[in-house]
Amino acid sequence: MKKRIMLIFVFLIVQRIGIVSVAGQEDCEEFVSPTATVAIHVSETTKALWNSLGSPHNEWKMWHIYGFLMEQFRADGTPFAVVSDADIDAGLLMNGGEPRYAIIFSLANDCISNETALKIKEFVFAGGHTFAGSTSWTRNENGVLRNSPIGKFFALSTEMGLMAGVPILIGDCKRTGVDSPLVSHLENDPVVRGWKLARNAGANGFYHPTHWALQVQATTATVLAATGNGNPILTTHRYGNGCFIYHSEFNPLAGYSMHTVANFTYGFYRKAIEEAHAELACPLVRLGAWPWPYVAGFMTRHDHFSNLGFDGIAGNGDDSEVARIEALHGVHGSHLLRTNVALPNSGQSCTDPDYGSVCDETVRINLLVMDALGAEIGSHTTDESVEPSQANVAQSLNRLEAFLGYRPNTFVAPGGCGFRDTTLAGLVNEGILVSGDMAFGPHPHFALRIDTAAEYNEAARWPLVEIPATGYYSTPDSGAFAGGIFAHEITSNPPACNNDGTVRNCMEKAADFQYNLGGLINLYDHIGDTSLANPTAEQFTAYIDYAQSLPYVYTTSMLDIHQWWLRRDAVRLSTTYITEPDPQINIEVTCTDDSGPFSVEVDLPWPGGAAVTVNGAVSGEYVLYGNRIRVKATAPSQVVLTPAPVCRETIRGDLSGDCVVDLADFVILFSQWLECRIEPSDSCFVP
């Protein structure tokens, strides 16, 4: 059955678009992939009625829901296709009786017809996976709620094993104890933890105590995660050969500031994709987020005034110690200074008219030492300004330029709150290239025009890369910073992090979590700010040592990521998979002429590894771990994967282990001719 599914899948690709070796210009301009095995449902019926659906719909634009997901898929390298109601009605989820896609995401697509619902039902029954979000399928195509004498329901309530309810506000989460890959990144215990996301598009500040979800009741579905009150957050239900996955949160990738769980909710999406492809024996192909051969990134980030050193006192001996530790480890740390505190006046002449043409010479020399050590020094505004004005940013940059002799181009707002369009426009006008105020998941991504864009497309993306700080969830309102979300804890044992019963550094848990999702390890700190707990020099060193000890971690920085993200963003993948006469995965890497090196990551649909060719030549430049292979490639190029040859049985003369007795084995034999290793050696007899 699995072989037949995938053979038909490839036939359909050939039938619709042909198998081509170079992507067309139109494919390069948009990220949507005609050969994707992941689909995103965008309901034109719901879009037409969105503004009439009331709360929580009126607190977001519809494109925010699927657009944040699309931007995150671009960030993690997952090719996707977009399907409308009309596409589904026309049968484009299927080819004959088999699924066209491994999984389809349908988020907040409230209004669908019974015909559309029936097509989704057929897709899942045939083996596809459907990931439905929040209010999807709760209304008819005319916008009327699907109510019955026994309560509210989804168009596919029976198949999903759920009854629908009303929108509610949630702010915590716990696992239910059910063993499932979908929640394997959450602590498996009954502890209720902080679960923070932005409530609406205009949310301001870094503390988001509650956000919208749909209250549902499980009838036959399995609940994997729930609120402290028992309201289901994540459920699954098998139907036919496939699976319905339901996620109740309204906009689960709204990572406004660094103090949210957008990276954890992203884990649900990533694991659902991997599980769906594995069940269908369908290859999952991604463009690696990081340069070959790396699987995750690592950087350091310091907000406020790290140039004052670990003791927080200027001119006290350790002012450049943070940068010195980084330099010893090959790290170019991001030092984002709140300039009215970090850069005081002391009467010496400098070139900043906003500050009376005076600088502190001791501080200036220290900044130049840090700069020489490789520190990337940027702005954290002049003060604690949330959503700072362009004038504030300009004043801060002017001050930095006076001390450094050049104008920095990195920025983060206090609290990570600089993500309104007015703020981002000011940043772009001031030449800022990278910021760190929003996260749609664990990967860097381009900033989006949340307030002014009417649709997710290239025009909705600012020419500015967002580099999210790493957040790790704990218990709600436990006294931890930002009410249960740890985003800057490098200290050895922060409060409440070990409530899961696992006594282990929160730093290590957070680093492992980001690493396992292939994202960026970026636990920020407030070194120099004595109002908060901060790591000692020893703890900070331990953080760097631990992150760099993880296999294939790419040590990077804000400016390095910006350059890499611009190059990587141009790359497109096109994939075909055939199963007859023999399995073969063909991947075209196109749309740019760049030596990379890029990584093509594939979850193989067969066991035992793969034989790899790149541009027709056998390549040994790949890494295999489990059934996932990571191949080095340039752009453009063609990567071909086939099952690795299998030796049916051991041959006694096969000394090289290649399942053939040949000259290579004779060379090994001859190299050891008459060699004797008997103990004692005088027992050896050579005729």
- On average, the pLDDT of the chain sits at 89
State the span(s) of the chain assigned CATH 2.60.40.
571-643
More confident residue, 508 or 673: 508
Lowest mean pLDDT among 87-91, 252-256, 359-363, 449-453: 359-363
For residues 246 and 132, the answer to whether their CB atoms sit within 8 Å is yes
For residues 187 and 193, the answer to whether their CB atoms sit within 8 Å is yes
Measured CA to CA, the distance from residue 175 to residue 602 in angstroms comes to: 30
Lowest mean pLDDT among 41-45, 389-393, 486-490, 630-634: 486-490
pLDDT (mean) for 403-425: 93
**Is the pLDDT assigned to residue 369 strictly greater than 80?**
yes
484 pLDDT band (50/70/90 cuts)?
A: confident
* DSSP 8-class letter at 509: H
For residues 233 and 215, the answer to whether their CB atoms sit within 8 Å is no
495 pLDDT band (50/70/90 cuts)?
A: low
Domain 571-643, what fold?
Immunoglobulin-like (2.60.40)
∠ CA 554-556-559, rounded to 5°: 150
**Is the pLDDT assigned to residue 657 strictly greater than 60?**
no
Measured CA to CA, the distance from residue 355 to residue 607 in angstroms comes to: 66
pLDDT value at residue 8: 39
pLDDT value at residue 354: 57
pLDDT value at residue 6: 42
**Is the pLDDT assigned to residue 148 strictly greater than 80?**
no
User: Per-residue pLDDT tens for 593-609?
Assistant: 999 999 999 999 999 99
Lowest mean pLDDT among 322-331, 402-411, 628-637, 661-670: 661-670
**What would the 3-class secondary structure string for 580-622 be?**
CCCCEEEEEEEEEEEEEEEEEEEECCCCCCEEEEECCEECCCE
pLDDT (mean) for 123-142: 97
**Is the pLDDT assigned to residue 258 strictly greater than 90?**
no
Instruction: Annotate 296-320 with DSSP letters as a single string.
Output: EEE--EEEE-GGGTTTT-TTSS-TT
For residues 245 and 272, the answer to whether their CB atoms sit within 8 Å is yes
Measured CA to CA, the distance from residue 453 to residue 40 in angstroms comes to: 19
More confident residue, 368 or 647: 368
> Which among 637, 568, 641, 572 has a CA at the least distance from the CA of 603?
641
User: Per-residue pLDDT tens for 226-236?
Assistant: 999 999 999 99
491 pLDDT band (50/70/90 cuts)?
A: confident
More confident residue, 540 or 386: 540
Question: Strand (E) positions, 35-93?
Answer: 38-41, 81-83
666 pLDDT band (50/70/90 cuts)?
A: confident
pLDDT (mean) for 405-424: 93
Q: How far is CA 205 from the centre of its chain?
A: 23
Structure tokens at 637: 């190029």
26 pLDDT band (50/70/90 cuts)?
A: very low
pLDDT value at residue 96: 87
pLDDT (mean) for 527-540: 90
Is CATH 3.40.50.2000 the right assignment for the domain spanning 31-286?
A: no
pLDDT (mean) for 386-394: 92
> Which among 109, 96, 122, 107 has a CA at the least distance from the CA of 4?
96
**What percentage of the chain has pLDDT greater than the value 90?**
73
Give this prediction's pTM.
0.90
Q: How far is CA 310 from the centre of its chain?
A: 31
Measured CA to CA, the distance from residue 338 to residue 588 in angstroms comes to: 46
Domain 297-436, what fold?
TIM Barrel (3.20.20)
pLDDT value at residue 50: 98
370 pLDDT band (50/70/90 cuts)?
A: very high
> Which among 124, 184, 189 has a CA at the least distance from the CA of 158?
124
Structure tokens at 315: 């001119």
State the span(s) of the chain assigned CATH 3.40.50.880.
31-286
**Is the pLDDT assigned to residue 352 strictly greater than 90?**
no
More confident residue, 117 or 150: 117
For residues 35 and 79, the answer to whether their CB atoms sit within 8 Å is yes
For residues 70 and 31, the answer to whether their CB atoms sit within 8 Å is yes
State the span(s) of the chain assigned CATH 3.20.20.370.
297-436
Q: How far is CA 618 from the centre of its chain?
A: 31
